[in-house]
């Protein structure tokens, strides 16, 4: 009975779903050769599985593959049909910690491609939105299972929402996602496999959320309730005891430990291609998930490779040395050490692919527009100052020296692949023009006395700006280039490296002069998530924290921003509740026009080359990839389709 209803629902929803999918991706579909799903299930509905699992089926330890896959598995088009077996090698800093390929463990309701432009159903096969984008309905694939064989249902999502996300003991401040203004979304279970998320205000980015890690099952979203209950005091009176056995003081501390997947916990039911089966101080082992819901176009269950072996290597330099000697199957090559990788390629049995980073700017600088010191505040708020500092940066020199001329000498802005993109944004004040910079600074009254290196502030005092930063993907030399370029036009900057937390404390309190970060999350999908865009004044760069506070407390605290900024905040709010594609594009363009003209983030170079060393014999590795937080690292290039040409050599 259930089945019939959901089939009817399926037919009804499918049209709507395709409409939504179309509407979020104006422009052409992503034209990748590999990884693109096909609508057609394999001929005959016959599925094949890895020999490793076949043995377990034969021994009666596992149901047959047809019983393990959902009724309609997700079919992934692969460039080459792979061979089963073998091991992928990677490394992490700590047991259960992040590794290069870990993005592949993110499995969300929907998925996106490597361009960040397409949203398509993944774990949920039908996703619909009401025309006003207030309510979103998600239908989980029929027969979808956790890696221990238990059904994954809408109840898991509801359990997660009420017992984890909204539990005041676990999250005293409540979740930031699924919240518009002060109002939480309303989660409702419609039937066994369908749930609805309804917002009070229209909230179009929910579709983008569904393809991001914020809706990654088994980590930040729906949890395996049947397994998590044992660690939750409301369901297990002994939860505290279990926590103490693991060295934690209280149940909710240990619960936090097991909730997130990138922690050293084993056998947690999950939906990823591989699940962690061993975690020791020296290595983690991830083995194929027998219930993984993807097949290739010929009906072979993915992934092709049996396991991931993640060596724990604490030292960063040792990690680099291991990458350079081919100890990992796929590893990034540090641009400043690239000569080592080239030299060792033959001996380490790897070849180098020319991939790129997905960051619109390797490093962008944001001056504090709400500075506590009135003199500095006045200077930083002067658009001419920010324009001058942008003109002063010799982007070509940075590009030639650090990136072999392979990066883009563009202003920091969102990706050109975004539908509402305006090409003016990338060239705005991006040309090297120290004369113009000097002229602008002179006009502002920042005088440079004769025989002095640096300019004085309008009151005639020493004018020095401290740029606080913490270690990032960009090389330190980049900051040195910028410091020199600014010194050339008489602006004294001190680049001060601090601890990650300290930087955040300092900036959250609005006590910084300037800080910098890379411009990630710039793709169509990710740039629309309100709390991750680096241009949001209360995120990461914290360039106008008091204005934002004023706006969101409706004038109760903070500092009243100029009218143009109030308009911009209004515009952003309107954009996030856009109801039509036309409105979405028009407001999007207006929002980013303002950010661009205001030049709140001064960019350096973007889309830098990121060579990657790939071990010989590893197939289905894409030729070009944009890697970054915005494309969820390895998530968007589908590591589950990788295979070894001779799996027995890589056991």
Partner 1 sequence: MSDLHAAPAAADDVSWSQWKLIRVKFGSHKLALVSIWLLGAFYLVALFAQFLAPYGTWQPSPYAYAPPTHIHFFFHGKFVGPMVYRTRIESDPETFERHFVVDASRPARIHWFVRGASYRWLGFIPSSLHLFGVEQDAQLNLMGTDILGRDCFSRDLIATQISLTVGLIGVFITFVLGCLIGGASGYYGGVVDNVVQRFVEFVTCLPTVPMWMALGAAIPASWSNLKVYFTITVILALRSWTGLSRQVRSKLLEMREEDYIVAARVAGATDWEIILRHLLPGFASYLIVNLTVEIPRMILGETTLSFFGLGLRPPTVSWGVLLQDAQNLAAISTYPWLMFPACMVVVCVLAFNFLGDGLRDAADPYKE
Residue 321 makes contact with partner 1 by CB under 8 A: yes
Among positions 283, 447, 448, 483, the unique one binding partner 1 when judged by CB under 8 A: 483
Residue 320 makes contact with partner 1 by CB under 8 A: yes
Pick the piece of the chain touching partner 1 (CB under 8 A) from 129-137, 201-209, 332-340, 523-531: 332-340
Residue 401 makes contact with partner 1 by CB under 8 A: yes
Among positions 397, 436, 447, 448, the unique one binding partner 1 when judged by CB under 8 A: 397
For β-strands 626-627 and 350-357, DSSP reports them as parallel
- Give the side-chain half-sphere CA count within 13 A for 119: 31
Give the x/- contact pattern for partner 1 in 351-390, rule: CB under 8 A. ---x------------------------------------
> In the complex, what is the shortest distance from the CB of residue 339 to partner 1, in angstroms, rounded to a whole number?
4
- Report how far apart, in Å, the C-alpha atoms of 463 and of each of 378, 496, 514 are: 13, 16, 13
Cβ neighbours for 522, distance < 8 A, ≥ 6 positions apart:
358, 359, 360, 413, 414, 415, 418, 630
Residue 306 makes contact with partner 1 by CB under 8 A: no
- What residues does 148 pair with on adjacent strands? none
Secondary structure letter of residue 162 according to DSSP? I
Give the x/- contact pattern for partner 1 in 556-595, rule: CB under 8 A. ----------------------------------------
Query: By C-alpha distance, which of 448, 455, 434, 364 is closest to 392?
Result: 434
Residue 77 or 406 with smaller CB distance to partner 1: 406
- Report how far apart, in Å, the C-alpha atoms of 637 and of each of 334, 361, 532 are: 20, 22, 21
> In the complex, what is the shortest distance from the CB of residue 294 to partner 1, in angstroms, rounded to a whole number?
35
Do residues 274 and 255 make contact, with C-beta atoms less than 8 angstroms apart?
no
Query: In angstroms, rounded to a whole number, what is the distance separating the alpha carbons of residues 186 and 109?
Result: 17
Residue 95 makes contact with partner 1 by CB under 8 A: no
Backbone dihedral angles phi then psi of residue 73, each to the nearest 5 degrees: -70, 165
Cα 556 from chain centroid? Answer: 33
Residue 336 or 553 with smaller CB distance to partner 1: 336
> In the complex, what is the shortest distance from the CB of residue 66 to partner 1, in angstroms, rounded to a whole number?
48
Residue 431 or 609 with smaller CB distance to partner 1: 609
What Rg value do the Cα atoms of the chain yield, rounded?
26
Give the x/- contact pattern for partner 1 in 260-299, rule: CB under 8 A. ----------------------------------------
Residue 120 or 376 with smaller CB distance to partner 1: 376
Number of residues that bind partner 1 (CB under 8 A): 36
CA angle 138, 358, 205 (to 5 degrees): 30
Residue 165 or 324 with smaller CB distance to partner 1: 324
> In the complex, what is the shortest distance from the CB of residue 488 to partner 1, in angstroms, rounded to a whole number?
11
Give the x/- contact pattern for partner 1 in 489-518, rule: CB under 8 A. -----xxxx---------------------
> In the complex, what is the shortest distance from the CB of residue 481 to partner 1, in angstroms, rounded to a whole number?
7
- Give the side-chain half-sphere CA count within 13 A for 638: 30
Q: Which two tokens stand for residue 464?
A: 């020095």
Q: Which residues of 173-206 are buried (b: 16+ CB within 10 A; e: fewer)?
A: eebebbebeeebbebebeeebbbbbebeebbbbb
Residue 484 makes contact with partner 1 by CB under 8 A: yes
Residue 488 makes contact with partner 1 by CB under 8 A: no
Residue 314 makes contact with partner 1 by CB under 8 A: no
CB neighbour class for 450 (10 Å; exposed up to 12, middle 13-18, buried from 19): exposed
> In the complex, what is the shortest distance from the CB of residue 482 to partner 1, in angstroms, rounded to a whole number?
12
Residues that bind partner 1 (CB under 8 A): 317, 320-321, 324, 335-340, 342-343, 354, 397, 400-402, 404-406, 464, 466, 468, 475-477, 480-481, 483-484, 494-497, 609, 611
């Amino acid at each position: 009975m259930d089945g019939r209803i959901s089939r009817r629902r399926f037919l009804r929803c499918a049209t709507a779903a395709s409409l939504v999918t179309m509407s979020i991706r104006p422009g052409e579909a992503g034209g990748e050769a590999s990884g693109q799903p096909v609508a057609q299930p394999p001929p005959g509905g016959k599925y094949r599985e890895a020999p490793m699992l076949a043995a377990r089926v034969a021994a009666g330890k596992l149901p047959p593959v047809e019983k393990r896959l959902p009724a309609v598995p997700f079919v992934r088009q692969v460039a080459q049909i792979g061979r089963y077996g073998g091991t992928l090698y990677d490394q992490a800093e700590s047991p259960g910690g992040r590794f290069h390929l870990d993005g592949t463990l993110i499995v969300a309701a929907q998925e996106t491609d490597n361009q960040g432009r397409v949203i398509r159903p993944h774990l949920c096969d039908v996703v619909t939105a009401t025309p006003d984008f207030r309510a979103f309905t998600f239908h989980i694939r029929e027969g979808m299972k956790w890696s221990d064989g238990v059904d994954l249902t809408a109840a898991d999502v509801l359990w997660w929402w009420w017992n984890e996300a909204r539990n005041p003991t676990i999250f005293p401040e409540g979740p930031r996602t699924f919240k518009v203004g002060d109002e939480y979304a309303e989660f409702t279970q419609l039937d066994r496999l369908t749930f609805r998320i309804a917002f009070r205000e229209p909230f179009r980015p929910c579709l983008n959320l569904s393809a991001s890690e914020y809706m990654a099952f088994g980590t930040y979203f729906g949890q395996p309730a049947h397994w998590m209950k044992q660690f939750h005091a409301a369901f297990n009176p002994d939860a505290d005891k279990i926590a103490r056995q693991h060295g934690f003081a209280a149940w909710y501390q240990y619960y936090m430990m097991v909730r997130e997947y990138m922690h050293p916990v084993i056998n947690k039911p999950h939906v990823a291609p591989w699940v962690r089966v061993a975690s020791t101080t020296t290595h983690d082992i991830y083995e194929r998930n027998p219930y993984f819901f993807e097949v290739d176009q010929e009906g072979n269950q993915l992934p092709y490779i049996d396991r991931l072996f993640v060596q724990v290597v604490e030292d960063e330099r040792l990690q680099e040395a291991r990458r350079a000697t081919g100890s990992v199957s796929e590893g990034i090559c540090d641009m400043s050490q690239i000569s080592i990788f080239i030299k060792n390629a033959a001996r380490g049995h790897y070849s180098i692919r020319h991939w790129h980073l997905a960051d619109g700017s390797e490093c962008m600088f944001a001056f504090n527009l709400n500075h506590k010191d009135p003199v500095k505040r006045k200077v930083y708020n002067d658009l001419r100052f920010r324009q001058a500092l942008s003109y002063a940066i010799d982007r070509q020199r940075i590009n030639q020296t650090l990136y072999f001329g392979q990066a883009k000498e563009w202003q920091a802005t969102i990706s050109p692949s975004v539908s509402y993109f305006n090409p003016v944004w990338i060239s705005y004040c991006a040309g090297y023009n120290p004369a113009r910079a000097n002229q602008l600074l002179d006009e502002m009254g920042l005088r440079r006395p004769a025989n002095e290196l640096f300019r004085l502030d309008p009151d005639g005092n020493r004018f020095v700006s401290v740029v606080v930063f913490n270690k990032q993907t960009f090389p330190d030399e980049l900051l040195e280039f910028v410091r020199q370029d600014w010194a050339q036009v008489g602006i004294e900057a001190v680049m001060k490296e601090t601890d990650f937390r300290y930087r955040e404390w300092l900036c959250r309190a609005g006590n910084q002069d300037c800080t910098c970060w890379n411009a990630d999350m710039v793709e169509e999908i990710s740039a629309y998530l309100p709390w991750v865009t680096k241009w949001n004044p209360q995120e990461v760069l914290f360039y106008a924290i008091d204005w934002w506070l004023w706006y969101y407390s409706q004038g109760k605290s903070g500092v009243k921003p100029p009218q143009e900024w109030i308009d911009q905040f209004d515009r952003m709010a309107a954009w996030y509740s856009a109801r039509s594609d036309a409105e979405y594009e028009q407001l999007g363009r207006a929002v980013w026009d303002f950010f661009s003209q205001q030049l709140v983030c001064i960019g350096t170079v973007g889309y830098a080359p990121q060579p990657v060393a790939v071990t010989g014999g590893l197939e289905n590795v894409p030729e070009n990839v944009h890697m970054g937080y915005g494309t969820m690292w390895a998530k968007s290039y589908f590591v589950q389709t990788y295979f070894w040409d001779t799996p027995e050599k890589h056991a």
